[in-house]
Amino acid sequence: MSNRYEEIMERGRRKQAVYTSFLKSLKKKRIPQLDAMFIKANDSAFQHINCLSCGRCCSHLGPKLNDKDINRLSKTQRMKPVRFIDSYLRRDEDGDMVFQSMPCVFLGADGLCLVYTDRPTACRDYPHMDSGRQKNRIPVHIENLLHCPAVILATEYLYSAGM
Ligand code: SF4
Ligand code: SF4
């Protein structure tokens, strides 16, 4: 991960209490344009971030895989789903299917995803700021302040917008 992203992560750690409390306050308020604001914040964050120079989520976090993900990835690996599960997946403490270990087994040495076009839906959607009802996602965003520089930048965008 580049130094610039490390600096953002360090800033996020320093301001974690402030940003956590700010995000919690958004959950309590009634803000009709909240989803649209998160989309803007997401777009703004990713103008400054190239995921290919970061890769933290592929190294540290694991996606949850649904049945469609498993079937799709099994095909790319030319395996039966049951063998794919045995080889790469485990059930976590919540009963979800996740990769057996991190960094992700499909993360190439060059930092690129080896199964990019068939990657799990959760990988496509991460960090989940530009779709869905954001009020319900705030606990996830609070957790992701510790993992994703884009979430920190987006939170800073919203914070400075004085919401
Ligand atoms: S989604 Fe976040 S953690 Fe993952 S590579 Fe992009 S900036 Fe990094
Ligand atoms: S499947 Fe690809 S995008 Fe998803 S965690 Fe693994 S390397 Fe990253």
For the chain, give every domain's residue range. Answer: 3-57+127-160, 62-118
pLDDT beyond 80 at 155? yes
Q: Give the residue whose CA is nearest to atom 2 of ligand 2.
A: 113
pTM: 0.90
What does DSSP assign to residue 105? T
Q: Give the residue whose CA is nearest to atom 4 of ligand 1.
A: 57
**91-147: pLDDT as tens digits:** 999 999 999 999 999 999 888 999 999 999 999 999 999 999 999 999 999 999 999
Question: What is the arithmetic mean of pLDDT over 44-51?
Answer: 95
CA separation for the pair 58, 56 (Å, rounded): 5
The pLDDT score that the predictor gives to residue 59 is 92
CA separation for the pair 148, 161 (Å, rounded): 20
